[in-house]
Structure 1
Amino acid sequence: MSVPVAPGRLPLLGHTVQMLRRRNDFTADLRNHGDIVRIDLGTMPTYFVTNPHVVHELLVQKGASFRKGALFDKFQPVFGNGLATSNGAFHRRQRRMVRPAFHGERVALYCRAMARAAADLTATWHPGQVRVIEEDTQALAVTIVGEALFSTDIGRRAVEEVRRSIFTVLKQGMVRALSPTFVEKLPLRGNREFDRAVGRLRSIVLDVVRGWREEGVDRGDLLSMLLMAQDADTGAGMSDEQVHDEVMTLLIGGIETTALALAWTFHEIGRHPEVERLVHAEVDEVLGGRTPTYADAANLVYLNQVVDEVLRMYPVWFLMRRALAPVELGGVALPEGAEVIFSPHALHHDPASFGEPHRFDPDRWSPDRAASIPKGAFVPFGAGSRQCVGNLFARAEILITAATVASRWRLVPVPGKPVRVKFTTAAYPSRMLMTAVPRY
């Protein structure tokens, strides 16, 4: 089967700003040209998958035939060989070792810290105060992930360093990843800030790791789980360097996306009165004034639907894979080394899978309607062997935080201050201003 060629080029971030405003329309339009469409990502030819069934084939049915793509190659020299960037047998080994840290019983323990952090945040609010919600959710995500990772005194210093440096790493790291390689060598302010922030984080994480090695005590945190993990085949544990790489992966992957999902959750609840009424009624009925726990999360049925709809509407823009050998995908023969790209944003807004895709509709996730959604059409955490290992943690964080806030406060959008979406690879709000109003 021949592959249609898209009528245009998709530049990298460093090449053009104008495309940032047009690129979602561009990727959404690709579905009109076929299930797999050849496009140029800067100067690099890629195969863009637009059909959810073929995305499912890519991620699940033939996942073993692909590794992470070119975008992740740019991250590896900086963030090391963690789960997000490693491949092959090493990735499978690391995933087996890391996965127990995110089993349900462990996540249930972390939920206590999530609820406490959310309550501490809202305790600083005052009736009628206007909050910049994305700043609140970013600070909250740092606290939650940091405390889940580190529980010692030096760990608390690490959390402060994460608070100081992580958003510089996230912002400048994405610019670097999407720019030509020579740009990272230039004496630019952004490059200097990025390198200093990465260096500070590396230093404090390794200090914490060495301190744990000296004490050798299981403190019930994620770091303890990583340091005690052993390969089931060899009995070997992780080196300090590998633990550092996995910690960096958890910080990078566990803060930005969850903070953004939380912000958009508050935004959508606040601008839909009927959704807000149903969320508050359910939270009141399920919790009865108590602090939410992991066990409560499954019983917050409507809030789960709200979260799914937020994850549908505000996912990452694109992800990449690379063929390890010649492989057939969606009836198309791809050569070894072929770069394959798909857009969760485009998939989640495909009218063939989601009627009225730009309308916020939590009811589309009711059991009868959700059953008709095609495999591969909804991939907020990926799928298959590369699915985000912390997806249970992230979902619990969103649910526990949203329930904690909703049990005490309403967040009301400020009139005349519309929220716009700013895309890098994720959907950032542009100053999400909301007024804190006590419910009682």
Structure 2
Amino acid sequence: MPVPVAPGRWPVLGHTPSMLRHRFGFTAGLPKHSDVVKIFLGTMPTYFVTSPELTYQVLTDGSNFRKGAMFDKFQPYIGTGLLLSNGPFHLRQRRLIQPAFRHERIAHYSATMVRAAREMAESWRPGEVRQIDHDMQGLAVTIVGETLFSTELGKQATDEARRSIFIIIKQGMIRALSPGFVERLPIAGNREFDQAVARMKAVVFKVIADWRAQGVDRGDLLSTLLLAADDDGESMSDQQVYDEVLSMLTAGIETTALALAWLFHEIARHPEVERRLHAEVDEVLGGRPVTFADVPELTYTRQVVNEVLRMYPVWILMRRSTAAVDLGGVAIPAGAEVTVSPHMLHFDSRFYGEPDRFDPDRWQPEKMEKLPRGAFIPFGAGVRQCMGNTFAQTEIVIAAATVAARWRLVPVADQPVRVKFTSAAYPSRMPMTVTARNQ
């Protein structure tokens, strides 16, 4: 089957300028061409998959696909943690880390989530204007940082993550989509990226060395990583532990921070959604702080979270074929780059009626059952699915319920919010006025 080439290709630079300028608009237009469309990142051809069925095949077929070129560009800086590793090494690391994300461990971490969310909510004052996107970034960094590191030295690592992680994510995405020579140019973005990575590496290795010297299980994620051993009794090296820490910081902060910011933005724009969410929080909590046991009972809140994750997901993911494979009648050669887009699928009107409309009711169980596999992939799928997905969803529900129990957040009328496109959907700004619910 012939593969159409997407419009908007530039000489030498390929589709990269069109993708960086139009982001979601570019990828949203690809399904009309075919289930598989060829695009060029610079001179490198990639096969862009536009159907949920083929996307699911790519994401779950661990024998024929591995992480692709986008992740190769991150690897020299972020290492070979779960986010970037492949093959047997990835499976080994996944087995070593799995115990850290079991149900009982997330229940343990939830105490940190509750405390951090309460401290944030209690620091606000009625009538003040907060930059909610900044507050949610700070909350996400605090929660991931404190579950990773429980010592005083660990607080330095958390502070550095607050300073550097979003630089690494933003500039890293630009590097991943750009020709190789761009990362060698003496430009501000490259300097910021390199300096941020160097700072994170220095402070995390210092925390690891301190743990090795003490050798005490502190019940945090770092202890879990350092104490883990495979079937042969082999544990992780300091470099492997660092790689996993940076993977957790990178993957564990962006999605949660953005989801929480957009959640408060969307419920403020939809009064009926806000009313129903507040009513459920009041009924389930009865005026007391939220607990881990409450999360399954907050059913409408979780529907709201799902709708936010649908509307504001990761933009694109890349894989590389390790053998010749058939994708919907298209012969993909070994070594080919394959791209999928959670955002494109989440806005496909074939699966979501009026996809631009914020509608938590589309996540009622009977409606969810009708979605094809691959149509909703906020955390990926298969063996590459984000291991921290339950951690993240628990964190979002707890933070949303904690804030909603006490406050309403009202948009500032003369400061509209726009979406900025990087690796995911960032708000241009998000000023909101804090209003007590009993007013």
**How many angstroms apart in 2 are the aligned matches of 1:16 and 1:37?**
15
CA distance change for structure 1 residues 358 and 308 in 2, over 3 Å: closer, same or farther? Answer: same
CA distance change for structure 1 residues 16 and 65 in 2, over 3 Å: closer, same or farther? Answer: closer
Give 1:177 shift.
2.3
Q: Deviations over 1:170-221 (max 9, x none)?
A: 2222222222222222222332222222111111111111111121111110
CA distance change for structure 1 residues 5 and 181 in 2, over 3 Å: closer, same or farther? Answer: closer
Asked if the contact 2:41/2:179 (under 8 Å) is kept, the reply is: no
TM-score, normalising length: structure 1? 0.96
Are 1:163 and 2:162 an aligned pair? Answer: yes
**How many angstroms apart in 2 are the aligned matches of 1:164 and 1:108?**
28
Give 1:271 shift.
0.9
Give 1:7 shift.
2.9
2:93 is matched with which residue? 94
Q: How does 1:1-80 map to 2 (within 5 A)?
A: 1-9=1-9, 19-60=19-60, 62-80=61-79
**How many angstroms apart in 2 are the aligned matches of 1:311 and 1:398?**
10
1:313 is matched with which residue? 311
SS in 2 for 1:198: helix
Specify the code of the residue in structure 2 equivalent to 1:66. Answer: F
SS in 1 for 2:30: helix
Asked if the contact 2:41/2:177 (under 8 Å) is kept, the reply is: no
Q: How does 1:156-195 map to 2 (within 5 A)?
A: 156-195=155-194
**How many angstroms apart in 1 are the aligned matches of 2:383 and 2:116?**
32
**How many angstroms apart in 2 are the aligned matches of 1:269 and 1:360?**
9
**How many angstroms apart in 2 are the aligned matches of 1:225 and 1:169?**
25
Asked if the contact 1:202/1:244 (under 8 Å) is kept, the reply is: yes
**How many angstroms apart in 2 are the aligned matches of 1:281 and 1:374?**
32
List runs of 5+ in structure 2 lacking aligned partners: none
TM-score, normalising length: structure 2? 0.96
Match of 1:297 among 295, 304, 312: 295
Give 1:31 shift.
0.9
**How many angstroms apart in 2 are the aligned matches of 1:100 and 1:406?**
32
Asked if the contact 1:130/1:436 (under 8 Å) is kept, the reply is: yes
1:129 is matched with which residue? 128
SS in 1 for 2:125: coil
Are 1:285 and 2:270 an aligned pair? Answer: no
Asked if the contact 2:13/2:179 (under 8 Å) is kept, the reply is: no
**How many angstroms apart in 2 are the aligned matches of 1:66 and 1:279?**
41
TM-align CA RMSD: 1.7
SS in 2 for 1:244: helix
Give 1:21 shift.
4.4
**How many angstroms apart in 2 are the aligned matches of 1:58 and 1:148?**
32
Specify the code of the residue in structure 2 equivalent to 1:435. Answer: T
Asked if the contact 2:42/2:178 (under 8 Å) is kept, the reply is: no
CA distance change for structure 1 residues 180 and 5 in 2, over 3 Å: closer, same or farther? Answer: closer
Specify the code of the residue in structure 2 equivalent to 1:51. Answer: S
**How many angstroms apart in 1 are the aligned matches of 2:77 and 2:16?**
24
Specify the code of the residue in structure 1 equivalent to 2:382. Answer: G
2:326 is matched with which residue? 328
Asked if the contact 1:118/1:140 (under 8 Å) is kept, the reply is: yes
1:275 is matched with which residue? 273
Give 1:70 shift.
0.5
SS in 2 for 1:419: coil
Asked if the contact 1:14/1:175 (under 8 Å) is kept, the reply is: no
Give 1:418 shift.
1.8
Give 1:13 shift.
9.8
2:138 is matched with which residue? 139
Specify the code of the residue in structure 1 equivalent to 2:410. Answer: V
Specify the code of the residue in structure 2 equivalent to 1:252. Answer: T
Asked if the contact 1:10/1:39 (under 8 Å) is kept, the reply is: no
SS in 1 for 2:46: strand
Identity percentage of aligned residues:
64
Specify the code of the residue in structure 2 equivalent to 1:202. Answer: K
